[in-house]
Amino acid sequence: MTIEEVKDYINSSTEYDFLRDYPHKIAFLTLGGSYAYGTNTEDSDIDLRGVFLSDKREILLNDSTKLVDTKKDTDTVMYTLKKYVDLCAKGNPTTLELLYNRPECYLYISDIGMELIKNRNMFLSKKIWYAFNGWVEALNEQAVRSYDATVLTEDQINLVRKKACKAMMHVIRVMHNGTALLKTSTMQTYNFELLRRALLLLRDGVYCSSMMIKGRATDHMLKRFVPSNDFGELFDVFYQAFENAFKTTTLPNEPDWDRINNFLMTTNERIVRGMV
């Protein structure tokens, strides 16, 4: 589906009625995942991400019992404004990238949501290096997956391979975005031309190899999907650029806490006064 077709589906499907009757006011709602990255296919899932506002009672009582609202059946994740801001200030890749989507990816943006997007540079600091690098390390671990071919069906084995390849794709994507933020203080969640083609090759398994390993408890042999040597060379190129960007970045050590806190304070004040 195209992005417009996805939007039409969301607007007409009863699966998403919970958004139309959402108990909190929404700051912004956007497509995430493959539709945001430009790596979607006809079979791609629809990922929705958004930020919602606490109400007057929650603000005054400092009630933060529900910081993240997840609807697994529709792959929807909604963050409270406070939780979302905290994650962005820490340099979290999955929350920061939502502020750099293409305009057509947003399904709804309130005045507060637009203010958040326009002031996205207040979150930028050297913390990006540490947060993005942590994600790269975690994704590299996910790119190595073992399986027992005598137990799993062919479809199950293909699913294991798909997860390994997808992790490799995200390794490169996250490093690329982190490099852009450290070098230029901006990024594009959507991947264009050459990078997009490289990501699709990674996702489709061109850089995935398999090998035999011995099981830990027995002599039974297992199979393992691993990144190929070509992926190792690709990784080195992107990681060196990422590391050099960190060494030469002009970003401050900390995000702009004055702007962040002022944004939260004025937003909460507007909510309490009934101005939102």
What is the per-residue pLDDT for 123?
98
What is the per-residue pLDDT for 220?
67
| pLDDT above 80 for 197 | yes
The string of pLDDT tens digits covering residues 103-162 is 999 999 999 999 999 999 999 999 999 999 999 999 999 999 988 888 889 999 999 999
The rounded mean pLDDT for the chain is: 94
pLDDT band at 76 (very low <50, low <70, confident <90, very high): very high
What is the per-residue pLDDT for 222?
82
What is the per-residue pLDDT for 238?
97
pLDDT band at 193 (very low <50, low <70, confident <90, very high): confident
pLDDT band at 219 (very low <50, low <70, confident <90, very high): low
What is the per-residue pLDDT for 65?
67
pLDDT band at 214 (very low <50, low <70, confident <90, very high): low
What is the per-residue pLDDT for 194?
85
Contact 199, 236 (CB under 8 A): no
DSSP β-bridge partners for residue 221: 214
Which amino acid is present at 18? F
Give the list of residues 6+ apart from residue 197 with CB closer than 8 angstroms, or none.
none
Instruction: Report the percentage of the chain scoring pLDDT > 90.
Output: 86
| pLDDT above 60 for 218 | no
Average pLDDT over residues 73-94: 97
The string of pLDDT tens digits covering residues 6-22 is 999 999 999 999 999 99
Distant-in-sequence contacts of 196-199, Cβ < 8 A, 24+ apart: 196/38, 196/39, 198/172, 198/234, 199/37, 199/39, 199/169, 199/172, 199/173
Q: What share of the chain is helix, strand, coil (3-state, %, to 5)?
A: 55, 15, 30
The string of pLDDT tens digits covering residues 19-74 is 999 999 999 999 999 999 999 988 899 999 999 999 999 999 988 767 899 999 99
Higher pLDDT, 171 or 148: 171
| pLDDT above 90 for 239 | yes
| pLDDT above 70 for 207 | yes
Instruction: Give the span between the Cα atoms of 32 and 29, in whole angstroms.
Output: 10
Q: At what angle do helices 257-272 and 111-118 cross, to 10 degrees?
A: 180
Among residues 35, 53, 36, the alpha carbon closest in space to that of 44 is found at: 35
Instruction: Give the span between the Cα atoms of 8 and 10, in whole angstroms.
Output: 5
pLDDT band at 223 (very low <50, low <70, confident <90, very high): confident
